[in-house]
Homo-oligomer: A and B are copies of this chain.
Amino acid sequence: MSESSLIEAFLRPFDRDRASVRVGPGSDCAAVSPSRGQQLVATTDAVIESVHFDRRWFTPEDVGHKALAVNLSDLAAAGARPRWFLCALGVPREPRAVFYAARMARGMAALARAHDCAIIGGNVAAATEWSVTITALGEARRPLTRAGGQPGDALVLAGRLGDAAAAFRYLSARAAQVTRAAQVGRPVPRAALLAQLRPDPLVEAGLIAASLASAAIDLSDGLLRDLGHLCAQSDCGAVVECTTLPIGTLAAREPDALELALAGGEDYALLFAVRPRRLQALLRSIHGAVQIGRLTPPGEGLSLTERGAPRRLPARRGFDHLG
Contacts and interface: CB of A to CB of B under 8 A. Distances in A.
Interface of A: 1-4, 6, 22-23, 26-34, 36, 39-46, 48, 50-52, 74-75, 77-78, 80, 84, 86-88, 90-91, 93, 97, 120-129, 131, 133, 135, 137-138, 140, 143, 145-147, 216-218, 233, 320-323
A48 B86 contact: no
Contact of A86 (B44, B80, B87): B44
B31 A143 contact: yes
Given A33-B40, A44-B122, A45-B88, 6 more contacts: A1-B322, A27-B147, A34-B34, A44-B123, A88-B88, A126-B322
A19 to B, nearest CB: 13
A192 to B, nearest CB: 27
A129 B127 contact: yes
Contacts of A51: 125-127
A299 to B, nearest CB: 21
Given A28-B74, A43-B30, A322 B123 contact: no
B36 A36 contact: yes
A137 B97 CA distance: 30
A216 B323 CA distance: 44
B43 A40 contact: no
B48 A90 contact: yes
A44 B323 CA distance: 28
A29 B43 contact: yes
